Amino acid sequence: MKIRFLLGSVALAAMLMLSACGQDSATDQMPAEQNAATEMDATAPEATEAPLQVVDVTPDAEAEGDAMSAESVEMTPAAEGEAAAAPAAEGSSDAALAATAQLQNVAGEPVGTATFTEMQDGTVMISAQITGLESDIVGPHGIHIHQTGACTPDFDAAGGHFNPTQMQHGLDNPAGPHMGDLPNIQIDEAGNGAYEATTDLFTLSEGDRSLFDDDGAAIVIHAEADDQVTDPSGNSGARIACGVIVQSAP
């Protein structure tokens, strides 16, 4: 009886052990399957979301690119218009003031032309071409700007040198010069001469030193050289040519 009871107990214990092992095996498999399912669920959304982001962003980028292209096309004509308008504005602001004088001898015959151009720095360039001016002296002759724009009935009508600052005559005079003083002009045996000088003593534009005051100004050539020192006219002798300075149209 004891032996039979022991065998029965052993058999029952073995059955209980097998049953417990089976439950543990099933329990171990379930978490693995759940983990696999969880990993698949976590992976699947990422695979589907990535393409959606690309699709959403790309149209926006294309739209922005199209908008930028449209803006550049609209801006181009305006920019070209501004570039085209620039030269006109620059040309109008850079227009130089100018004047001319037709010189004649004491007989009233034409002997040349003088031109005056005020530069951007405020200086005035004087150019003159003289032809057939009769003179007993070959070489340097005094040439000045006189204070009145008149050459008739004779050259004395031009008055004295242009001198609004009331200085003494002569570019080399420590107490000078007159605002109308200029370097000498060279006249050859045929009475011809080419002249060019630049001065900052007077202007063509408005101001205290402008040639275009109430009575204007004239350019005069003298019979002899100007010594650039002696007041009031440098011992330059008689007036042999004269021209009224006339402002040119802008």
Distance CA 134, CA 146 (A): 21
Q: Is the peptide bond before 232 cis (omega within 30 degrees of 0)?
A: yes
Torsion sign (Cα): 124, 129, 133, 136: positive
Instruction: Please give the pLDDT value at position 191.
Output: 96
C-alpha to C-alpha distances, 211 to 35, 100, 225, 247, nearest whole angstrom: 105, 12, 24, 9
Instruction: Please give the pLDDT value at position 220.
Output: 98
Instruction: Please give the pLDDT value at position 96.
Output: 83
Instruction: Please give the pLDDT value at position 177.
Output: 98
Instruction: Please give the pLDDT value at position 53.
Output: 37
pTM: 0.63
What stretch of H or E contains 192?
none
Instruction: Please give the pLDDT value at position 19.
Output: 53
Distance CA 202, CA 118 (A): 10
Buried (b) or exposed (e) across 131-168, using 16+ Cβ within 10 A?
A: eebebeeeebbbbbbbbbbbbeeebeebbebbbeeebb
For tokens 């040439």, the residue is 143
Instruction: Please give the pLDDT value at position 249.
Output: 80
What stretch of H or E contains 4?
helix 2-93
For residue 145, which amino acid is it? Answer: I
What does the domain layout of the chain look like in residue ranges?
A: 1-94, 97-247
Taking 70 as the pLDDT cut, the residues of the chain under it are 1-95
CATH annotation of 97-247: 2.60.40.200
